[in-house]
Amino acid sequence: MIMSYGGDLLEVALLIVFSRSGSPTPVARTPGDSVSAWAAPAADGEAAINPRNPCRGCTRLVSIAVMARILFDTATTINGWIADTDNSLAWLFAVDGGEHPDDGLIPTGLGAQVEGSTTYEWVLAETDILAHPEKWADFHGDRPTFVFTTRALPTPEGADVRFVRGSVSEVLPAIREAAGDGDIWVVGGGDLAGQFLDAGALDRIALSIAPVALDGGAPLLPRRLESDRLRLVSAVAHGQFARLIYDVLPGKRAVPK
């Protein structure tokens, strides 16, 4: 069973092993671990956990590999737009710290990134990356980037870009394999993040809220998602930005608007 927790832990797995009385005993592990444990009989009837070596009288052996998180991390206006009606982020770059965000506003521990075609094309055009492919690494590093598209799009020289089509569920195994132990960052847009949510694959939503309101554009997350599905992990001020982080809890599928 894999569950998300707040605080400093990115994700933990609950490895359930049973004593002779059938009482479950959880053992927490961090992402990327491959965990094995044995439940040994104890005098009080509870299970004694030995995570390394089997023991005489063990009742069950369980092994589990903990998967990395999938997170949607983005800047947004106070009224829920991530780009204006011209698909521009000029409103964001005009905010103090918007063009060169604090380290606390950028996700770390990443193994792969995922983008929709509109986001990908914006990235290419914004800094003329096709003519200056060395700029690709400024944002993407050397991580693989998966781009959901049905069109033929150009690739910057030397960039690890993998074009995919189909549903999130169909492509997700390849994305997880490429990410390894690292987290998967859904960069945008909002509807692609919604597709991960629809597939039950979104673990965390991190928002950097700018002191800006727009009258239209690209919506943050065009899904109905109520409070029983979100748990606040942290709320911190970073200069002009409010950084809100929510864990996404299991539940019924979100409803597209």
Domains of the chain: 2-65 (no CATH), 70-256 (3.40.430.10)
**Burial per residue of 160-184, b for 16 or more beta-carbon CB atoms within 10 angstroms, e otherwise:** bbbbeeeebeebbeebbebbeebbb
Segment 56-85, tens digit of pLDDT: 555 544 444 557 899 999 999 999 999 999
Helix ranges (H only) for 31-126 are: 90-93, 117-126
Q: Side chain identity at 211, as an amino acid letter?
A: P
For the chain, what's the residue count? 257
- The confidence score (pLDDT) of residue 10 equals 34
Distance CA 250, CA 23 (A): 24
Task: Provide φ and ψ at 190, rounded to 5°.
Answer: -65, -35
- The confidence score (pLDDT) of residue 115 equals 98
- Stretch 175-198: mean pLDDT: 97
Q: DSSP code of 169?
A: H
- The confidence score (pLDDT) of residue 256 equals 64
Residues 235, 243 contacting (CB under 8 angstroms): yes
Give the pLDDT band (50/70/90) at residue 142: very high
What percentage of residues in the chain have a pLDDT greater than 70? Answer: 72
Residues 196, 146 contacting (CB under 8 angstroms): no
Distance CA 141, CA 180 (A): 16
- The angle subtended at Cα 141 by Cα 85 and Cα 196, nearest 5°, is 55
Residues 76, 209 contacting (CB under 8 angstroms): yes
pLDDT at 101 exceeding the cut of 90 = no
Q: Which of 188, 40, 171, 53 is nearest to 114 (CA)?
A: 188
Q: Which of 28, 26, 52 is nearest to 38 (CA)?
A: 52
Tokens coding 92: 């964001």
- Stretch 198-225: mean pLDDT: 97
